[in-house]
Chains A and B, each alone.
Chain A
Amino acid sequence: QSALTQPHSVSGSPGQSVTISCTGTGSDVGGYNYVAWYQQHPGKAPKLMIYDVSKRPSGVPDRFSGSKSGNTASLTISGLQAEDEADYHCCSYAGSYTWVFGGGTKLTVL
């Protein structure tokens, strides 16, 4: 069970769109539609932004969207705002009732 692969960092200017990728294998991301994305500000707990690949919990802005193609899931943030600057983590079901996370991506809003 290896960690999912995320880019170390991404950046974008206010109003732009950014996409963060999360690459796994056919045993996790590619094998199931149970990918979630979390936003984590420094010193805070992760906050659920997307679950089951593309579902948004109540209260999460529709600027946040999720998708998946093959073994790679993606989180897209449109209309970037300063408060979106944070770390983003992906999570995937990995079979046999186990879960695996990515290494996290630092989003910088320029």
Chain B
Amino acid sequence: QVQLQESGPGLVKPSETLSLTCTVSGGSISGYSWSWIRQPAGKGLEWIGRIYTSGSTDYNPSLKSRVTMSIDTSKNQFSLKLNSVTAADTAVYYCARGVAAASTKSCFDFWGQGTLVTVSS
């Protein structure tokens, strides 16, 4: 079964860049779409963006100016960079896969366990 694992710094200073990597195991990263989703403490989920194994990307319009996603199929990894962070970016960040047995417009099936990123000086 596919497993996803987020990794990266748990503390980022205001105005700096948040960088996270998701490692996919138990299956190939190729042929699927991969997303980042975040959840502030006690709040709902927010889709950040997704990347195909071709490298094409789609981003949440509200975050588009600050987000960059990339993928390394040789390492079965994809990454998120969010620049100019503020306290409002403090959240648990999840990586997830687009539902494999469905349309490219379907939501997400497998998720990582999540990683807490705190923005503070």
Residues of A within 8 A of B (CB): 1, 3, 32, 34-36, 38, 44-48, 51-52, 55, 57, 89, 91-93, 96-104
CA distance A91 to B112 in the complex (A): 17
Q: Is B46's beta carbon under 8 Å from chain A?
A: yes
Of B47, B58, B103, B113, the contact of A45 (CB 8 Å cutoff): B113
Write out the residue numbers on chain A whose beta carbons fall within 8 Å of the beta carbon of B60: 1, 98
Q: Is B44's beta carbon under 8 Å from chain A?
A: yes
CA distance A36 to B45 in the complex (A): 13
CA distance A25 to B45 in the complex (A): 18
CA distance A76 to B8 in the complex (A): 38
Is B43 touching A103 in the complex (CB atoms < 8 A)?
yes
Q: Which residue of A has the minimal Cβ distance to B52?
A: A97
Is B113 touching A34 in the complex (CB atoms < 8 A)?
no
CA distance A46 to B44 in the complex (A): 11
Write out the residue numbers on chain A whose beta carbons fall within 8 Å of the beta carbon of B44: 3, 89, 101-104
Is B47 touching A36 in the complex (CB atoms < 8 A)?
no
The digit string for B81-121, where 1 denotes a CB below 8 A from any CB of A, is 00000000000001000010011111111111110000000
Of A96, A97, A100, the contact of B50 (CB 8 Å cutoff): A97
Is B47 touching A98 in the complex (CB atoms < 8 A)?
yes
CA distance A91 to B37 in the complex (A): 11
CA distance A32 to B44 in the complex (A): 21
CA distance A3 to B47 in the complex (A): 10
Closest 9 A/B residue pairs (Cβ): A36-B107, A103-B44, A97-B58, A101-B45, A91-B107, A45-B111, A99-B47, A93-B105, A104-B44
Please name 11 pairs of A and B residues whose Cβ atoms are closer than 8 Å in the assembled complex, sorted by A: A1-B60, A3-B44, A47-B111, A51-B107, A89-B45, A91-B45, A96-B58, A97-B58, A97-B104, A98-B61, A104-B44
Q: Is B62's beta carbon under 8 Å from chain A?
A: yes
Of B106, B112, B113, the contact of A93 (CB 8 Å cutoff): B106
